[in-house]
Amino acid sequence: MKFDAPATNNPIDQLKVVGKPLDRVDGPLKVTGTAAYAHDRYDSIPNQAYGYVLGSAIAKGKIKPMNVSAAKAAAGVLGVVTAENAGKLGKGDYNTAKLLGGPEVDHYHQAIAIVVAETFEQARAAAQLIQVEYTKADGSYDLHAAMATAIRPEKIFGGEADSSAGDFDKGFAAAPIKFDATYETPDQAHAMMEPHATIAAWHGDTLTLWTSNQMIDWSTGDIAKTLGIPKEKVRLSSPFIGGGFGGKLWIRADALMAALGARATGRPVKVALARPFMFNNTVHRPATVQRIRIGATQQGKITAIGHESWSGDLPGGGPEVAVMQTRLLYAGENRMTAMRLAVLDLPEANAMRAPGEAPGMMALEIAMDEMAEKLGLDPVEFRIMNDTQVDPENPSRPFSMRTFAECFKTGAEKFGWNNRNAKPATRRDGRWLLGMGVAAAFRNNLLMKSAARVRLDSRGTVTVETDMTDIGTGSYTIIAQTAAEMMGVTLDKVAVRLGDSTLPVSAGSGGQWGGACSTAGVYAACVKLREEVARALGLNHPDATFVDGELRVGNRRIPLAQAAAKKELVGEDQIEYSDVDKKYQQSTFGSHFVEVGVDAATGEVRIRRMLAVCSAGRILNPKTARSQVIGAMTMGVGAALMEELAVDKRAGFFVNHDLASYEVPVHADIPHQEVIFLDEVDPLATPMKAKGVGELGICGVAAAVANAIYNATGVRVRNYPITLDKYIKGLPEVA
């Protein structure tokens, strides 16, 4: 199905099932422990062995031939695989050949061997017997030091590295009011609950991976290229994923090493990366240095805005696209953005929830507050004043829908923004300094092809099949709701199969595109199935409706099960998009309001309450959508106050590589959260009239926290995380 215009007589608009805050259909499986995660496939895969991955102890250099004889001779050991006996590995689309190091070492904890044994303990013990001799080389581990040699990247996800409109230099120089500041964000880790884990099994020349992966089709092709086998000889299965946040978009070392270990030993091999490997072996969000300049009239209209960002990655990597939102968020005729990429020999930098916008808005939305203060304007008023209904870099392209100002007006009224004192460090509750902060939320709405197959059987049960994944976001539920709405059945008459490469290729889970695009693919397949049902019953009529498990035309009512009485009916299709996203800029918007208390004596920060107002088209399930937003808000608090991968700049690794020392918020840190979804639909987005929301909730949160801390204390911190050592000396004295 090609989508290029709003559908007429759209069955989704009935909203009998879609749009309702229904419980997760997979909830009972998860709370009873029967959901089959990658490492839990005990019974379905017999004769499993265990693999333990050995990581490099240096960040850059070479390995001399390893002595693995003691490991091979250890009790229970079935085999040892290194680069010397792994065979030639091809280069996948996502640098998978680098997942196994040797003799060259690219980063600390790069996998250099896997030991396969009868038990996990035997594999782990034997791995320590491998004798590795390294020749160290000098590496680059400091972003600030590497900025001088940073280059303009040739290709980035989502556009060009630089952009411009008007004449920024001239416009900024001429602006009556100018602002110029530099901000820093640190390296951050995904730290999801479920580690990267895989069970690999070979059946002849066919490989099956039961793994934890967000993008099934991408990864199926990638592992095939890496191992040099046809794509049809690889099957991936990921029906349940215990968190991803972008870290599981690609094949990682757990999958490749399990496959190599299984091929070498002739046994299914189970691998789960140890928690330290989650930080130094898999991908992370890279640190940034960002310079923002804003020029405005005395009245507060932006006339020039410039945003430059520096980040680093391994050779051949890409930048953190931290300037992308600045190209679209605020008006202003003279514009400039630029990204520069430094070579760093740290573990791979790549996507983490809301890549680009999350760290980019950590800087931009503090700068907007600082400029508002310089102008003597309320931060909410300043943002609304510089709203736009067209792409600022391409004014001929309007937004498909933009309720940016409404997000702020609604949020300000609900949060009690009028109680905020514009003068910092003036509100108190005993020894607590109180402050309010605000920031915009923005995330682009990306459109991806997505396919599905829908079956109807003689019992009237509808089964949906697509390789879409559920990373805890509620994919099972909204896909079931879509099929139920389209086919006119109750939710208990819908079964959903996800996360298997033998199923039609979906959009996958990533980039906030998964929910809207995968349900649109199910919509397209259901349109086909409706046609099949009508044809089978001889009621192919334009006024036919699917209601309460029946096909109805006029006074005739025929149960759907009757259509499939003789044979199962199948509808399969995919959603594709014409140029609707080129004619219109599609984005999601929001506002974040935060109130904090800062202990005037100790500097301790406590979040008191948070509010997010989101504008993201039709909300397919308000309950699961709210869960996504409050989880993202919590991540935003972590980014603001505590999350930082500490880099050992001598040895080139992340020191705090476990959940004891990499701090994240806990329940006690987040006392009260509220989410408001604006009542809207975007008919130009998809047939579902929905957009994504899972990443919008993190964008801007950290800046809102930072702005609240400033309002409470009068101390401005531009270097995240905002730890008390950065502002305690500037606190007003305890009353």
d(CA 113, CA 53): 6
* Dist CA 686 CA 580 (whole Å): 10
Q: What contacts 24+ positions apart, CB below 8 Å, involve 6-9?
A: 6/683, 6/684, 6/689, 7/687
Which sign does the torsion angle of CA 684, 686, 687, 689 carry? negative
> What is residue 291's three-state secondary structure?
strand
In the DSSP assignment, the letter for residue 247 is T
Q: Please return the burial class of 703, using the count of CB atoms within 10 Å of its CB with bins 0-12, 13-18 and 19+.
A: buried
Rounded CA-CA distance 454/498 in Å is: 12
User: Token digits for 72?
Assistant: 């091979």
DSSP string, 196-226: SEEEEEEETTEEEEEE--S-HHHHHHHHHHH
- Taking the C-alpha atoms of residue 54 and residue 111, their distance in angstroms, rounded to an integer, is 6
Q: Judging by beta carbons within 10 Å of its beta carbon (0-12, 13-18, 19+), is residue 105 exposed, middle or buried?
A: buried
Catalytic residue IDs: 695
Within 182-317, residue ranges assigned H as helices are 216-227, 253-265, 275-280
Could you give the CA distance from residue 2 to residue 508 in angstroms, rounded to a whole number? 19
Query: Bridge partners of 575?
Result: 450
Contact 644, 188 (CB under 8 A): yes
DSSP H helices in 441-559? 475-487, 514-537
